[in-house]
Amino acid sequence: MTKRQAAIELYCHEKKSITEISVHLGRSRQWVYKWIQRYEEGSATWFEEKSRRPIVSSSKIPEATEQSIIRTRKSLENNPCSQTGAISIQYALRDLKEPIPSIWTINRVIKRNGLTRKTAKYVSKGHEYPKHFPDTQQMDLIGPCYLGAGKRFYGISIINELSHAAKTYPKPNKSSICIAQSLVDYWKEFGFSDALQMDNELSFRGSNRHPRSLGIVLRLALSFHVVPVFIPIKEPWRNGIVERYNQTYERHVLKSVYCQNMEELCVASDEFASFHYANHRYSSQSNRTPAQMELINGKRTTQDLEYVLPDRIPLEEGVILFIRFIRSNQKLTILGSSFKVHRDLIYSYITAELIIHRHTLVIRRDQNIYHVIHFPMPVDW
């Protein structure tokens, strides 16, 4: 700016020529002409730099469209059951017959207006994890939670990995009977899958007093040829789909809807499950809803609507899978019994396959059998 002012001083007061000014200041003639012209425009700040931002930007969306995006985002946030991402905003704008910007444009508008929400990303530990069934349902517990009157309850959440068809069943406790009844209700509505994946909650397994006597939840699954799969101990992210659904359920139901009793909570849970089934979209399934995915995957075999959970379920033939991570002590614990495994299995995931009718425990990694262990169990068939 000092040189610009010096150029005008030489031009106006010392009456130097353009060439002399150019040589004296070490600038081009075009530069001298530019600042003389800027000075003659009469602005008091003629020597300051002007913004080079274009007057019209080809990438800037109309103000009305930006406000429409902001308004739609806030409207979705006000609905405790809605998703609020760019995909959901696009579908909402389409329903309103308004212009539909691209996903990238919507995300830019959301970020520019401070409407983003950051979430932590899962970082893999690098250990190869076994995957056995493409068609799996995940099950998990929520709770203990409390109603307005201080009454304690639990939620049993079940979700299908392929379609994300999900539902949470509020129950007064987490007994195996309540969990089994929730499974029956879910299978009546959404049908069976090849496997049922869960964590190592005692109510899912049976009893610590008689660890090899399988509980009613496992007996129920085996009776309908559904393979129970237990994830590694203290690794809840292996049931990541149902864990994420639990967060959504807690945010949209438990933290948004005031319920005084179990009847009101059950109604709110049913309403959210119906809304989730028809409206929530998942990027993992090309932004389709669970209802759309169910149509694509075809109708499943469902539980008989007249089926009533019996007091006693005979133990059926079948297989139970336990996925475990072997540490440096080479110790594997299954249903209260511990075994020492081959040292090659240290720091890797293995699958312990319990074949009930053969009383056999088969230890595998990458389809290779490392151990076949006799595993006697009480039978009642």
What does 319-381 look like in DSSP terms, one character per residue? EEEEEEEE-TT-EEEETTEEEE--GGGTTEEEEEEEEGGGTEEEEEETTEEEEEEE-------
Domain 136-297: state its class.
alpha beta
- Residue 44: other Cβ atoms inside 10 A: 6
Q: How far apart are the first and last CA of the chain?
A: 95
Residue 161 reports pLDDT greater than 90? yes
pLDDT value of position 41: 85
Residue 127 reports pLDDT greater than 80? no
| Average pLDDT of the residues in 311-332 | 92
- Residue 22: other Cβ atoms inside 10 A: 18
Mean pLDDT of the chain: 90
Q: What single-letter DSSP state applies at residue 260?
A: S
Global pTM reads 0.72
Tens digit of pLDDT for each residue in 172-183?
Answer: 999 999 999 999
User: Which two three-digit tokens encode residue 335?
Assistant: 């249903």
Q: Report which of 299, 313, 152, 323 is spatially closest to residue 229, judged by C-alpha positions.
A: 323
Q: Report which of 110, 69, 118, 61 is spatially closest to residue 89, judged by C-alpha positions.
A: 69
**Bridge partners, 337 (sequence order):** 334
Q: Where are the domains of the chain?
A: 2-40, 63-112, 136-297, 319-374
pLDDT value of position 122: 55
| Average pLDDT of the residues in 240-268 | 92
Q: What angle do CA 21, 25, 30 make, to 5 degrees?
A: 65
Contact 312, 118 (CB under 8 A): no
Residue appearing with tokens 């109604």? 267
Q: What single-letter DSSP state applies at residue 288?
A: B
| Average pLDDT of the residues in 42-47 | 84
Residue 232 reports pLDDT greater than 90? yes
> In a 3-state reduction of DSSP, which class is residue 308?
coil
